[in-house]
Amino acid sequence: MQEQFLRSLVWADYRLAVLFTVIIPLILLIWAFVKKADSIVRLMIIYWRVASLLAITVYILIAEWPLGFVSGWGGRILIPIALWFWVDINEDIEDQPQRPLKLALTTWRWAITIYSVLGALATLPVLQCGFVQGAVKTPLCRVWLEPPFLFKQYFHAGSTPQFLGFMGMVGLFFYVLFLSYFVLIRLGKQGRSALEQ
């Protein structure tokens, strides 16, 4: 009974993730591009760069590698930071007249921030799957692997889990490389301005 309840929560979380991290941001990006709202387009491009960690995580989890639990949790932390960090973008958006695009963006930013923070707090116990030897085989961790397995079945049925996990690890390597470059070099030069993005 408890495992079934957990399974329901996990699937609900993945469904919300698809809505908040894929569908709505894609609509906002296209809408902002059509409306030529440059600051919103810049913000959405930054968002997609950061949120790519969630896609990388799915591939790592397909291979049942524990690092995927850590990278998924990290994605939940990095997304709200990326959405509110940029002073110039925040000022540009705030100065825009109240229009449907601005309202939709603001609503989504708050919704995904709340979703990400609550999700990060709720999945703190799941971090053990990434750090405790053999924990990935426990029922708690196995439940979190079901949605990535279904993703593989739909989109990569002919590929082995190890190959997809390897692709995820390559993606994670480059993600960490670019994030390190940004934090160690670019952040000191440009501060909280996204103009050089």
> Domain limits of the chain?
2-190
> pTM of the prediction?
0.92
Question: CA angle 124-127-132, nearest 5°?
Answer: 140
Reported residue count of the chain is 197
The confidence score (pLDDT) of residue 15 equals: 96
CA dist 32 and 21 (Å) reads 16
The pLDDT mean for the chain works out to 94
Nearest alpha carbon to residue 16 among 140, 112, 117: 112
What is the per-residue pLDDT for 144?
96
Residue 195 above 80 pLDDT? no
Q: What angle do CA 49, 28, 75 make, to 5 degrees?
A: 35
Task: Give the pLDDT confidence of 61-90 residue by residue, as tens digits.
Answer: 999 999 999 999 999 999 999 999 999 999
CA distance 162 to 170: 12
Does position 3 have pLDDT exceeding 90, yes or no?
Answer: no
**How many helices and strands, by DSSP H and E, does the chain display?**
10, 0
- 94: enclosing H helix or E strand: helix 87-95
Confidence of residue 197 (pLDDT cuts 50, 70, 90): very low
Other CB atoms within a 10 A radius of the CB of residue 84 amount to: 14
